[in-house]
Chain A
Amino acid sequence: MKRYQNLLMMFAVVVLVALPLWMVQKPAPGPDGKDVEIFLGADDQAKNVIGTIAPEYQPWFKPLMEPPSGEVGSLLFALQAALGAGFIGYWYGSATATARIRREQGNKAPC
Protein backbone atom coordinates (compact mmCIF):
# COMPACT_ATOMS: atom_id res chain seq x y z
CA MET A 1 0.00 0.00 0.00
CA LYS A 2 2.83 2.40 0.95
CA ARG A 3 4.64 1.71 -2.31
CA TYR A 4 1.44 2.28 -4.24
CA GLN A 5 0.96 5.60 -2.40
CA ASN A 6 4.50 6.71 -3.21
CA LEU A 7 4.07 5.90 -6.89
CA LEU A 8 0.83 7.84 -6.95
CA MET A 9 2.53 10.87 -5.38
CA MET A 10 5.41 10.70 -7.87
CA PHE A 11 2.89 10.57 -10.69
CA ALA A 12 1.12 13.65 -9.26
CA VAL A 13 4.43 15.57 -9.27
CA VAL A 14 5.03 14.66 -12.92
CA VAL A 15 1.51 15.83 -13.79
CA LEU A 16 2.00 19.10 -11.88
CA VAL A 17 5.17 19.80 -13.87
CA ALA A 18 3.79 18.69 -17.24
CA LEU A 19 0.39 20.36 -17.00
CA PRO A 20 1.62 23.99 -17.24
CA LEU A 21 3.63 23.11 -20.38
CA TRP A 22 0.42 22.08 -22.02
CA MET A 23 -1.88 24.72 -20.46
CA VAL A 24 0.12 27.88 -21.10
CA GLN A 25 -0.15 28.96 -24.73
CA LYS A 26 2.57 30.98 -26.33
CA PRO A 27 1.16 34.45 -27.03
CA ALA A 28 1.35 35.84 -30.57
CA PRO A 29 4.47 37.91 -31.36
CA GLY A 30 4.13 41.53 -30.22
CA PRO A 31 3.87 44.55 -32.56
CA ASP A 32 7.66 44.67 -32.82
CA GLY A 33 7.57 41.20 -34.36
CA LYS A 34 9.66 39.73 -31.53
CA ASP A 35 8.75 36.31 -30.24
CA VAL A 36 7.34 36.39 -26.72
CA GLU A 37 9.32 34.01 -24.56
CA ILE A 38 7.50 31.97 -21.94
CA PHE A 39 8.68 29.95 -18.97
CA LEU A 40 11.43 32.38 -18.12
CA GLY A 41 12.62 32.51 -14.52
CA ALA A 42 10.36 34.24 -12.00
CA ASP A 43 13.46 36.22 -10.98
CA ASP A 44 13.52 37.90 -14.38
CA GLN A 45 9.87 38.85 -14.04
CA ALA A 46 10.59 40.34 -10.61
CA LYS A 47 13.33 42.40 -12.22
CA ASN A 48 10.78 43.75 -14.69
CA VAL A 49 8.39 44.62 -11.84
CA ILE A 50 11.20 46.53 -10.12
CA GLY A 51 11.77 48.29 -13.44
CA THR A 52 8.16 49.51 -13.54
CA ILE A 53 7.98 50.53 -9.85
CA ALA A 54 11.38 52.19 -9.62
CA PRO A 55 12.58 52.87 -13.18
CA GLU A 56 15.55 54.88 -11.94
CA TYR A 57 16.94 52.04 -9.78
CA GLN A 58 20.34 50.78 -10.86
CA PRO A 59 21.71 47.50 -9.45
CA TRP A 60 24.82 48.52 -7.51
CA PHE A 61 26.63 45.21 -7.60
CA LYS A 62 27.29 42.75 -10.40
CA PRO A 63 27.68 38.98 -10.02
CA LEU A 64 31.37 38.14 -9.65
CA MET A 65 31.07 35.36 -12.15
CA GLU A 66 28.37 34.52 -14.65
CA PRO A 67 28.11 31.22 -16.49
CA PRO A 68 29.48 32.06 -19.96
CA SER A 69 26.39 30.53 -21.60
CA GLY A 70 23.06 28.92 -20.78
CA GLU A 71 24.66 25.56 -21.51
CA VAL A 72 27.33 26.03 -18.85
CA GLY A 73 24.64 27.25 -16.47
CA SER A 74 22.61 24.10 -17.00
CA LEU A 75 25.78 22.04 -16.44
CA LEU A 76 26.18 23.59 -12.99
CA PHE A 77 22.51 23.16 -12.13
CA ALA A 78 22.72 19.53 -13.22
CA LEU A 79 25.84 19.11 -11.09
CA GLN A 80 24.01 20.50 -8.07
CA ALA A 81 21.07 18.13 -8.60
CA ALA A 82 23.40 15.18 -9.26
CA LEU A 83 25.31 15.76 -6.01
CA GLY A 84 22.08 15.77 -4.03
CA ALA A 85 20.44 12.89 -5.85
CA GLY A 86 23.68 10.87 -5.65
CA PHE A 87 23.77 11.17 -1.89
CA ILE A 88 20.09 10.30 -1.48
CA GLY A 89 20.63 7.26 -3.72
CA TYR A 90 23.62 6.20 -1.61
CA TRP A 91 21.60 6.48 1.58
CA TYR A 92 18.65 4.59 0.08
CA GLY A 93 20.88 1.81 -1.20
CA SER A 94 22.67 1.33 2.08
CA ALA A 95 19.40 1.55 4.03
CA THR A 96 17.71 -1.18 1.96
CA ALA A 97 20.82 -3.37 2.20
CA THR A 98 21.03 -2.95 5.98
CA ALA A 99 17.33 -3.73 6.34
CA ARG A 100 17.72 -6.89 4.24
CA ILE A 101 20.75 -8.13 6.16
CA ARG A 102 18.97 -7.50 9.45
CA ARG A 103 15.93 -9.42 8.23
CA GLU A 104 18.02 -12.38 7.06
CA GLN A 105 19.88 -12.54 10.36
CA GLY A 106 16.60 -12.29 12.23
CA ASN A 107 15.30 -15.29 10.30
CA LYS A 108 18.39 -17.34 11.11
CA ALA A 109 18.49 -16.46 14.79
CA PRO A 110 15.87 -18.97 16.07
CA CYS A 111 17.72 -22.08 14.81
Chain B
Amino acid sequence: MHIMEGFLPIEHAIGWTAASAPFVAYGLYTINKRIKEKPEQRMLLGVAAAFTFVLSALKMPSVTGSCSHPTGTGLGAILFGPAAMAPIGMVVLLFQAILLAHGGLTTLGANIFSMAIVGPFAAAAIYRLAKAARIPFGSSIFLAASCADLLTYVTTSAQLALAFPDPAGGFAASFAKFATVFAVTQIPLAISEGLLTVIVMNALLRFNPLELQDMNVITAQEAQA
Protein backbone atom coordinates (compact mmCIF):
# COMPACT_ATOMS: atom_id res chain seq x y z
CA MET B 1 0.00 0.00 0.00
CA HIS B 2 2.89 2.31 0.64
CA ILE B 3 3.92 4.86 -1.91
CA MET B 4 7.38 3.79 -3.00
CA GLU B 5 10.58 5.67 -2.30
CA GLY B 6 11.06 8.64 -4.62
CA PHE B 7 7.65 8.24 -6.25
CA LEU B 8 6.19 11.48 -4.95
CA PRO B 9 7.38 14.78 -6.43
CA ILE B 10 9.44 16.70 -3.89
CA GLU B 11 6.78 19.37 -3.17
CA HIS B 12 4.23 16.66 -2.38
CA ALA B 13 6.71 14.78 -0.19
CA ILE B 14 7.40 17.92 1.84
CA GLY B 15 3.73 18.86 2.00
CA TRP B 16 2.59 15.49 3.36
CA THR B 17 5.46 15.41 5.84
CA ALA B 18 4.45 18.84 7.13
CA ALA B 19 0.82 17.69 7.36
CA SER B 20 1.72 14.54 9.33
CA ALA B 21 4.29 15.97 11.74
CA PRO B 22 1.86 17.71 14.13
CA PHE B 23 -0.26 14.54 14.43
CA VAL B 24 2.82 12.47 15.32
CA ALA B 25 3.94 15.06 17.88
CA TYR B 26 0.48 15.29 19.45
CA GLY B 27 0.19 11.48 19.40
CA LEU B 28 3.46 11.12 21.32
CA TYR B 29 2.20 13.66 23.85
CA THR B 30 -1.09 11.79 24.40
CA ILE B 31 0.69 8.41 24.74
CA ASN B 32 3.15 9.81 27.31
CA LYS B 33 0.37 11.42 29.27
CA ARG B 34 -1.73 8.27 29.24
CA ILE B 35 1.12 6.00 30.38
CA LYS B 36 1.95 8.40 33.21
CA GLU B 37 -1.65 8.58 34.41
CA LYS B 38 -2.58 4.94 33.85
CA PRO B 39 0.54 2.77 33.79
CA GLU B 40 -1.65 -0.35 33.84
CA GLN B 41 -2.67 0.40 30.23
CA ARG B 42 0.90 -0.11 28.98
CA MET B 43 0.17 -3.74 28.20
CA LEU B 44 -2.82 -2.84 26.01
CA LEU B 45 -0.77 -0.21 24.19
CA GLY B 46 1.72 -2.97 23.48
CA VAL B 47 -1.05 -5.19 22.13
CA ALA B 48 -2.28 -2.39 19.85
CA ALA B 49 1.23 -1.77 18.50
CA ALA B 50 1.92 -5.49 18.12
CA PHE B 51 -1.33 -5.94 16.19
CA THR B 52 -0.23 -3.24 13.72
CA PHE B 53 3.16 -4.96 13.40
CA VAL B 54 1.64 -8.33 12.58
CA LEU B 55 -1.04 -7.15 10.20
CA SER B 56 1.15 -4.83 8.17
CA ALA B 57 3.66 -7.65 7.69
CA LEU B 58 1.08 -10.01 6.21
CA LYS B 59 0.91 -9.61 2.46
CA MET B 60 -2.27 -11.33 1.41
CA PRO B 61 -3.40 -12.29 -2.08
CA SER B 62 -6.55 -10.62 -3.34
CA VAL B 63 -9.15 -11.27 -6.02
CA THR B 64 -7.51 -8.74 -8.36
CA GLY B 65 -4.50 -11.04 -8.69
CA SER B 66 -2.17 -8.80 -6.71
CA CYS B 67 -1.06 -8.73 -3.10
CA SER B 68 -1.40 -6.09 -0.45
CA HIS B 69 -1.46 -5.97 3.31
CA PRO B 70 -3.87 -4.79 6.02
CA THR B 71 -2.88 -1.97 8.38
CA GLY B 72 -4.04 -3.04 11.85
CA THR B 73 -4.48 0.55 13.01
CA GLY B 74 -8.20 0.33 13.78
CA LEU B 75 -7.76 -1.59 17.05
CA GLY B 76 -5.41 0.94 18.64
CA ALA B 77 -7.46 3.89 17.40
CA ILE B 78 -10.59 2.52 19.09
CA LEU B 79 -8.68 1.81 22.31
CA PHE B 80 -6.38 4.81 22.68
CA GLY B 81 -7.88 7.40 20.36
CA PRO B 82 -6.78 8.09 16.81
CA ALA B 83 -3.86 10.40 17.64
CA ALA B 84 -2.00 7.66 19.51
CA MET B 85 -1.71 5.61 16.32
CA ALA B 86 0.28 8.24 14.41
CA PRO B 87 3.61 7.55 16.18
CA ILE B 88 2.94 3.79 16.29
CA GLY B 89 2.22 3.73 12.57
CA MET B 90 5.37 5.76 12.00
CA VAL B 91 7.50 3.13 13.76
CA VAL B 92 6.09 0.38 11.52
CA LEU B 93 6.52 2.49 8.39
CA LEU B 94 10.10 3.39 9.34
CA PHE B 95 10.96 -0.27 9.93
CA GLN B 96 9.65 -1.17 6.47
CA ALA B 97 11.11 1.89 4.74
CA ILE B 98 14.64 1.50 6.12
CA LEU B 99 15.08 -2.26 6.25
CA LEU B 100 12.76 -3.53 3.55
CA ALA B 101 12.72 -0.80 0.90
CA HIS B 102 8.92 -1.03 1.27
CA GLY B 103 7.52 2.48 1.29
CA GLY B 104 10.25 5.07 1.74
CA LEU B 105 11.74 7.94 3.70
CA THR B 106 10.72 10.61 1.17
CA THR B 107 7.19 9.20 1.10
CA LEU B 108 7.05 8.56 4.85
CA GLY B 109 4.94 11.66 5.52
CA ALA B 110 2.35 10.70 2.89
CA ASN B 111 2.25 7.10 4.11
CA ILE B 112 1.86 8.18 7.74
CA PHE B 113 -1.00 10.43 6.65
CA SER B 114 -2.93 7.61 4.97
CA MET B 115 -2.18 4.69 7.31
CA ALA B 116 -1.60 6.31 10.69
CA ILE B 117 -3.86 9.39 10.52
CA VAL B 118 -6.79 8.96 8.10
CA GLY B 119 -7.30 5.27 8.95
CA PRO B 120 -7.29 5.68 12.76
CA PHE B 121 -9.46 8.83 12.70
CA ALA B 122 -11.97 7.02 10.49
CA ALA B 123 -11.94 3.99 12.80
CA ALA B 124 -12.54 6.04 15.93
CA ALA B 125 -15.28 8.13 14.31
CA ILE B 126 -17.09 5.13 12.81
CA TYR B 127 -16.90 3.26 16.12
CA ARG B 128 -18.45 6.22 17.99
CA LEU B 129 -21.18 6.61 15.36
CA ALA B 130 -21.96 2.90 15.40
CA LYS B 131 -22.19 2.94 19.19
CA ALA B 132 -24.50 5.93 19.06
CA ALA B 133 -26.68 4.05 16.57
CA ARG B 134 -26.80 1.15 19.06
CA ILE B 135 -25.13 -1.27 16.66
CA PRO B 136 -23.85 -4.31 18.63
CA PHE B 137 -20.25 -4.25 19.90
CA GLY B 138 -18.79 -6.81 17.48
CA SER B 139 -20.39 -5.26 14.39
CA SER B 140 -19.26 -1.77 15.41
CA ILE B 141 -15.67 -2.97 15.73
CA PHE B 142 -15.86 -4.79 12.41
CA LEU B 143 -17.26 -1.74 10.61
CA ALA B 144 -14.71 0.62 12.14
CA ALA B 145 -11.66 -1.55 11.45
CA SER B 146 -12.55 -2.59 7.92
CA CYS B 147 -13.59 0.92 6.82
CA ALA B 148 -10.35 2.32 8.29
CA ASP B 149 -8.35 -0.20 6.30
CA LEU B 150 -10.18 0.60 3.08
CA LEU B 151 -10.03 4.37 3.59
CA THR B 152 -6.26 4.14 4.09
CA TYR B 153 -5.93 2.83 0.57
CA VAL B 154 -8.44 5.28 -0.84
CA THR B 155 -6.24 8.01 0.66
CA THR B 156 -3.12 6.51 -0.94
CA SER B 157 -4.93 6.52 -4.29
CA ALA B 158 -5.93 10.16 -3.82
CA GLN B 159 -2.37 11.12 -2.87
CA LEU B 160 -0.99 9.50 -6.01
CA ALA B 161 -3.74 11.02 -8.17
CA LEU B 162 -2.90 14.47 -6.80
CA ALA B 163 0.75 13.95 -7.65
CA PHE B 164 0.07 12.36 -11.04
CA PRO B 165 -3.15 13.76 -12.54
CA ASP B 166 -4.12 12.16 -15.81
CA PRO B 167 -3.12 14.38 -18.78
CA ALA B 168 -6.61 13.95 -20.30
CA GLY B 169 -8.99 13.25 -17.40
CA GLY B 170 -7.18 15.08 -14.60
CA PHE B 171 -7.44 14.09 -10.95
CA ALA B 172 -10.64 12.04 -11.28
CA ALA B 173 -9.42 9.77 -14.08
CA SER B 174 -6.12 9.24 -12.35
CA PHE B 175 -7.81 8.55 -9.01
CA ALA B 176 -9.99 5.91 -10.67
CA LYS B 177 -6.88 4.16 -12.00
CA PHE B 178 -5.03 4.15 -8.68
CA ALA B 179 -8.16 3.17 -6.77
CA THR B 180 -8.59 0.11 -9.01
CA VAL B 181 -5.07 -0.94 -8.07
CA PHE B 182 -5.27 -0.18 -4.36
CA ALA B 183 -8.83 0.07 -3.10
CA VAL B 184 -10.38 -2.82 -5.04
CA THR B 185 -7.49 -5.13 -4.10
CA GLN B 186 -8.06 -4.08 -0.52
CA ILE B 187 -11.74 -5.03 -0.19
CA PRO B 188 -11.26 -8.69 0.86
CA LEU B 189 -8.28 -7.68 3.00
CA ALA B 190 -10.34 -5.03 4.74
CA ILE B 191 -12.92 -7.70 5.59
CA SER B 192 -10.15 -9.91 6.97
CA GLU B 193 -8.79 -7.05 9.05
CA GLY B 194 -12.26 -6.32 10.43
CA LEU B 195 -12.71 -9.96 11.47
CA LEU B 196 -9.25 -10.21 13.06
CA THR B 197 -9.84 -6.98 14.98
CA VAL B 198 -13.12 -8.37 16.35
CA ILE B 199 -11.30 -11.55 17.48
CA VAL B 200 -8.68 -9.56 19.41
CA MET B 201 -11.36 -7.22 20.80
CA ASN B 202 -13.36 -10.21 22.05
CA ALA B 203 -10.28 -11.38 23.94
CA LEU B 204 -9.72 -7.89 25.37
CA LEU B 205 -13.36 -7.75 26.40
CA ARG B 206 -12.98 -11.03 28.23
CA PHE B 207 -9.72 -10.32 30.04
CA ASN B 208 -9.59 -6.54 30.39
CA PRO B 209 -13.21 -5.35 30.74
CA LEU B 210 -12.35 -2.80 33.42
CA GLU B 211 -9.63 -1.18 31.33
CA LEU B 212 -11.95 -1.02 28.31
CA GLN B 213 -14.58 0.65 30.48
CA ASP B 214 -11.96 3.06 31.78
CA MET B 215 -10.97 3.89 28.20
CA ASN B 216 -14.61 4.60 27.33
CA VAL B 217 -14.65 1.81 24.75
CA ILE B 218 -17.55 0.07 26.45
CA THR B 219 -20.12 1.12 29.02
CA ALA B 220 -20.37 -0.20 32.57
CA GLN B 221 -23.28 -2.49 31.64
CA GLU B 222 -21.29 -4.01 28.79
CA ALA B 223 -18.33 -4.57 31.12
CA GLN B 224 -20.54 -6.53 33.48
CA ALA B 225 -22.04 -8.75 30.80
Contact of A50 among B7, B99, B189, B198 (CB under 8 A): B7
Instruction: Report A's interface with B, CB cutoff 8 A.
Output: 2, 5-6, 9-10, 12-13, 16-17, 19-21, 23-24, 38-47, 49-50, 53-54, 57, 59-67, 73, 76-78, 80-81, 83-88, 91-92, 95-96, 98-99
Decide yes or no whether B50 CB sits under 8 A from chain A: yes
Interface residues of B in 97-146 (CB under 8 A from A): 97-102, 104-106, 138
Q: Are A99 and B188 in contact (CB under 8 A)?
A: no
Chain B residues whose C-beta falls within 8 Å of the C-beta of A45 in the assembled complex: 66, 181
**From residue A6, how far is it (CB to closest CB) to chain B in Å?**
5
Decide yes or no whether B21 CB sits under 8 A from chain A: no
The residue on A at minimum CB distance from B13 is A61
**From residue A64, how far is it (CB to closest CB) to chain B in Å?**
7
Q: Are B54 and A17 in contact (CB under 8 A)?
A: no
Contact of A95 among B3, B49, B63, B207 (CB under 8 A): B207
**From residue B94, how far is it (CB to closest CB) to chain A in Å?**
12
Q: Are A84 and B192 in contact (CB under 8 A)?
A: no
Q: Are A60 and B6 in contact (CB under 8 A)?
A: yes
Chain A residues whose C-beta falls within 8 Å of the C-beta of B166 in the assembled complex: 53
Q: What are 23 A-B residue pairs whose CB atoms fall within 8 Å in the complex?
A: A2-B202, A16-B60, A20-B188, A24-B61, A41-B68, A46-B7, A47-B4, A47-B7, A50-B7, A50-B164, A60-B9, A61-B5, A63-B5, A63-B101, A63-B104, A64-B98, A77-B59, A83-B53, A84-B51, A88-B54, A91-B47, A95-B207, A96-B207
Chain A residues whose C-beta falls within 8 Å of the C-beta of B104 in the assembled complex: 61, 63
Q: Are B53 and A84 in contact (CB under 8 A)?
A: yes
**From residue B32, how far is it (CB to closest CB) to chain A in Å?**
20
Q: A61-B106, A96-B207 are in contact. Are A81 and B53 (CB under 8 A)?
A: yes
Q: Are A16 and B100 in contact (CB under 8 A)?
A: no
Q: Are A87 and B181 in contact (CB under 8 A)?
A: no
Q: A20-B61, A46-B160 are in contact. Are A80 and B206 (CB under 8 A)?
A: no
Decide yes or no whether B65 CB sits under 8 A from chain A: yes
Contact of A80 among B57, B62, B106, B164 (CB under 8 A): B57
**From residue A11, how far is it (CB to closest CB) to chain B in Å?**
10
Decide yes or no whether B20 CB sits under 8 A from chain A: no
Q: Are B50 and A87 in contact (CB under 8 A)?
A: yes
